[in-house]
C-alpha cells in the first residue's frame, strides 16, 4: 500500500510538471539561474583546477574525472567517460624556458608546440634565420647541428590596435548573419598538404641535427600568442624537434638583430612528456532519463568540447561551452523536471584535432555519413545543441538551413528577447561538433554568440584563461540552453528534419591528421 501511495504521489507530481504552462517553467529556469547559479564554481574547476585539457593529457583526464563526479553528485544517470575510439598519445609540458643570452640577456615570451620533443636539458645555441622552410633552403644553410632555426616573418609589423578587440552584435544584423567558420572540402584539400609539409619540415630539421625551431605569431601582439600542435599524437607520426611559438614582438626583435648581422644566442630548456599508457579517446556523458512511456527512448542532446590547447586553460575555447551546458542540465535537474524525452549531455574530446570525439560518438551510435547506413538510434535523437564560439551571450541560433524549425525557435526565443536573444538565421556555422550530427541527418544546432574578444585575443592563445570569461554572459546562455532543451524534451513531436544528406565522407574524416 505504501508503494502505491508513493507511486500515486510521484505520478501526480510528474503530471503537475507536465501540466505547468511552458511560460511558468521558463520563468523558473530564469529564477534558478539568477538565484542559485553555479557558473563560477564550474568555470573555476574546469579552467583553474583542471588546467589545460589537451586531449589525452593529464589535464584532460582530470577534467573527465571532475565532470563525471559532478554530474553524479547532481543526480544524473549513466554519468561517466565513454570511449569513442583510438586517438593517440597524450602530451604535456613539464618545463618551458626561452631567453636571449647574446647580445644581452632578456627573457622571451614563448610556448612549446604540442606533441613536439623537448631539448636535452638546458642548452645555449646560435640562431639561424632562413628565408623559408623547405628542404632546399635547409640544405643550403650549411651545418645546422645544435642550432636554433627561425623562418623570416611574413610581416615586419605588429597588428595595429586601432580596431576594438571586443565587440557585440547589433540587433539589426542577427537575422542576416552569413555562414561562419565554414571550412569546405576544397579549402581543407588546400590546407592539409600545408600542414603535412610543416610537419615533414620539422622532422627534416630534426634529422639535420637542429636543436629547435622557433615559430612566429602572425596575428598576435602585446604578448598574446596562438599555439596549437603537430601530428605527433597520431599513429605513424613521430615527434618532431622542439618547437616554440614566440610572441610577435620578441620574434621580430630577434629577426632584426640577425638581419643586422648581430650574433644571437638563446638559452632554451623545454621538457615535454608523452603518455602512451592509454591511446583511447574519451568523451564524458550523463543523462536525465525520460519519463513518458512513449517518448522516453527518444533523446535531446546538448554539448560542447572539453578538450583545449595548452598555452592557456581553455576558458573560452571551449570551457565556456562546457560550463554553460553543465549549468543548463544542472538547472533542469535542480527544478526536478520530469522530461518526456531523455536529456543527455555529452562533452567531447579531440575536437581541436578534427571533431574526433563527437564524430566517433556519431559513428558508434548513429552511423557513418560515408555510406549512410544508419543505426536505429539515429531516428531517436530530436536535436543536438552545441556551444563553442567563446564566452559571449547567446543572441539567437543558426538554423543550418533547416527552415522547418524557424517558427519553433522564434517562439522559444521570445521569452529571452529582453536578454538580447532574438536572432534566427538560416545560415550555417561550422568547424565544431554539431556538424558530426548534421552529417547523418540529425538536427544539430549552434547558437549565435556575441564575438567579444574570441578571435582577436583568446582563441587558441595563452590568454585563454578564466579572467577572459564573461560570467554574466554565461549565465544568460545557460538559461537559454536549458529552455531550448526543456522545450525539445517536452513537445509532442520531435523536431522536424532536413532531407537526409547523400553518402559522403565526413569533411574531417581525413587520411592526414589535423
Half-sphere exposure of 446 (CA within 13 A, CB side): 28
* DSSP-assigned letter for residue 229: B
CATH of range 20-87+279-490; options 3.40.630.10, 1.10.10.520, 1.10.10.10, 2.60.40.420: 3.40.630.10
Question: What integer pLDDT is reported at residue 10 of this predicted model?
Answer: 38
In the chain, how long is the greatest CA-to-CA distance? 93
* CB contact at 8 A, 119 and 183: no
Helix, strand, coil in percent for the chain, rounding step 5: 35, 20, 40
Give the contacts of 124 (CB within 8 A, at least 6 positions apart). Answer: 101, 265, 266, 267
Parts of the chain with a pLDDT under 70:
1-21
Cell for 73? 553528485
Burial class (CB in 10 A: 0-12, 13-18, 19+), 59: buried
What is the torsional sign of CA 404, 407, 413, 415? negative
Smallest Cα–Cα separation from 39: which of 331, 458, 349, 335? 331
| H or E stretch covering 37 | none
Can you say how many angstroms the Cα of residue 325 is from the centroid of all Cα atoms in its chain?
13
Cell for 3? 508503494
Give the contacts of 277 (CB within 8 A, at least 6 positions apart). Answer: none
Smallest Cα–Cα separation from 182: which of 398, 428, 403? 428
Question: If you count them, how many residues does the chain have?
Answer: 514
**Fold entry, domain 91-171+192-273:** Glucose Oxidase; domain 1 (3.50.30)
Q: What are phi and psi of 339, to 5 degrees?
A: -70, 145
Question: What integer pLDDT is reported at residue 183 of this predicted model?
Answer: 85
Question: What integer pLDDT is reported at residue 494 of this predicted model?
Answer: 98
* CB contact at 8 A, 328 and 286: no
Bond from prior residue into 371 cis (ω within 30 degrees of 0): no
Cell for 244? 616554440
Give the contacts of 421 (CB within 8 A, at least 6 positions apart). Answer: 393, 394, 395, 396, 413, 476, 480
Going by their DSSP bridges, the two strands 123-130 and 265-275 should be labelled as: antiparallel
CA distance 477 to 421: 9
CA distance 280 to 240: 22
Write down the domain spans for the chain: 20-87+279-490, 91-171+192-273
Can you say how many angstroms the Cα of residue 422 is from the centroid of all Cα atoms in its chain?
25
Question: What integer pLDDT is reported at residue 15 of this predicted model?
Answer: 41
* CB contact at 8 A, 447 and 481: yes
CA distance 449 to 432: 14
Question: What integer pLDDT is reported at residue 171 of this predicted model?
Answer: 96
Question: What integer pLDDT is reported at residue 23 of this predicted model?
Answer: 81
* CB contact at 8 A, 202 and 59: no
CA distance 43 to 444: 25
Question: What integer pLDDT is reported at residue 20 of this predicted model?
Answer: 62
CA distance 25 to 33: 12
Question: What integer pLDDT is reported at residue 7 of this predicted model?
Answer: 39
Smallest Cα–Cα separation from 313: which of 70, 43, 68? 43
* CB contact at 8 A, 151 and 130: yes
Smallest Cα–Cα separation from 97: which of 194, 242, 204? 242
CA distance 65 to 505: 33
CA distance 193 to 23: 53
Half-sphere exposure of 71 (CA within 13 A, CB side): 28
Going by their DSSP bridges, the two strands 110-112 and 342-348 should be labelled as: unpaired
Amino acid at each position: 500500500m505504501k508503494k502505491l501511495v508513493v507511486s500515486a504521489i510521484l505520478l501526480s507530481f510528474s503530471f503537475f510538471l507536465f501540466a505547468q504552462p511552458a511560460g511558468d517553467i521558463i520563468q523558473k529556469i530564469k529564477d534558478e539561474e539568477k538565484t542559485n547559479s553555479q557558473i563560477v564554481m564550474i568555470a573555476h574547476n574546469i579552467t583553474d583546477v583542471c588546467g589545460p585539457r589537451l586531449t589525452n593529457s593529464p589535464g584532460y583526464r582530470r577534467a573527465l574525472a571532475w565532470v563525471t563526479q559532478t554530474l553524479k553528485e547532481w543526480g544524473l544517470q549513466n554519468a561517466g567517460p565513454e570511449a569513442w575510439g583510438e586517438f593517440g598519445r597524450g602530451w604535456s609540458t613539464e618545463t618551458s624556458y626561452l631567453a636571449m643570452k647574446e647580445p644581452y640577456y632578456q627573457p622571451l615570451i614563448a610556448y612549446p608546440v604540442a606533441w613536439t620533443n623537448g631539448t636535452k636539458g638546458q642548452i645555449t645555441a646560435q640562431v639561424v634565420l632562413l628565408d623559408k622552410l623547405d628542404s632546399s633552403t635547409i640544405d643550403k644553410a650549411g651545418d645546422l647541428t645544435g642550432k636554433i632555426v627561425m623562418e623570416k616573418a611574413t610581416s615586419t609589423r605588429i597588428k595595429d590596435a586601432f580596431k576594438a578587440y571586443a565587440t557585440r552584435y547589433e540587433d539589426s544584423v542577427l537575422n542576416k548573419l552569413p555562414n561562419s567558420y565554414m571550412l569546405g572540402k576544397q579549402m581543407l584539400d588546400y590546407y592539409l598538404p600545408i600542414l603535412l609539409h610543416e610537419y615533414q619540415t620539422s622532422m627534416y630539421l630534426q634529422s639535420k641535427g637542429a636543436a629547435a625551431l622557433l615559430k612566429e605569431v602572425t596575428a598576435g601582439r602585446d604578448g598574446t600568442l596562438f599555439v596549437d600542435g603537430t601530428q605527433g599524437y597520431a599513429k605513424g607520426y613521430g615527434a618532431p624537434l622542439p618547437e616554440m611559438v614566440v610572441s610577435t614582438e620578441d620574434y621580430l626583435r630577434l629577426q632584426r638583430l640577425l638581419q643586422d648581422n648581430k650574433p644571437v644566442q638563446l638559452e632554451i630548456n623545454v621538457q615535454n612528456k608523452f603518455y602512451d599508457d592509454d591511446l583511447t579517446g574519451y568523451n564524458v556523458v550523463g543523462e536525465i532519463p525520460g519519463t513518458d512511456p512513449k517518448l522516453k527512448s527518444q533523446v535531446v542532446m546538448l554539448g560542447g568540447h572539453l578538450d583545449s590547447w595548452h598555452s592557456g586553460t581553455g576558458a573560452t575555447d571551449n570551457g565556456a561551452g562546457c560550463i554553460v551546458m553543465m549549468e543548463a542540465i544542472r538547472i533542469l535537474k535542480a527544478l526536478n523536471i520530469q522530461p518526456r524525452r531523455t536529456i543527455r549531455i555529452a562533452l567531447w574530446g579531440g575536437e581541436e584535432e578534427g571533431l574526433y570525439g563527437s564524430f566517433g560518438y556519431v559513428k558508434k551510435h548513429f552511423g557513418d555519413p560515408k555510406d549512410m547506413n544508419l543505426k536505429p538510434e539515429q531516428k531517436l535523437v530530436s536535436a543536438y545543441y552545441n556551444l563553442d564560439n567563446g564566452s559571449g551571450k547567446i543572441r539567437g541560433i543558426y538554423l543550418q538551413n533547416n527552415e522547418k524549425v524557424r517558427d519553433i525557435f522564434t517562439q522559444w526565443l521570445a521569452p529571452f528577447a529582453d536578454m538580447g536573444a532574438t536572432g534566427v538565421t538560416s545560415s550555417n556555422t561550422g568547424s565544431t561538433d554539431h556538424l558530426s550530427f548534421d552529417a547523418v541527418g540529425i538536427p544539430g544546432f549552434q547558437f549565435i554568440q556575441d564575438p567579444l574578444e574570441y578571435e582577436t585575443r583568446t582563441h587558441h592563445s595563452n590568454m585563454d584563461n578564466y579572467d577572459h570569461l564573461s560570467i554574466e554572459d554565461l549565465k544568460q546562455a545557460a538559461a537559454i540552453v536549458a529552455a531550448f532543451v526543456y522545450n525539445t524534451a517536452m513537445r509532442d513531436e520531435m523536431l522536424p528534419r532536413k532531407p537526409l544528406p547523400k553518402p559522403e565522407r565526413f569533411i574531417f574524416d581525413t587520411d592526414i591528421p589535423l
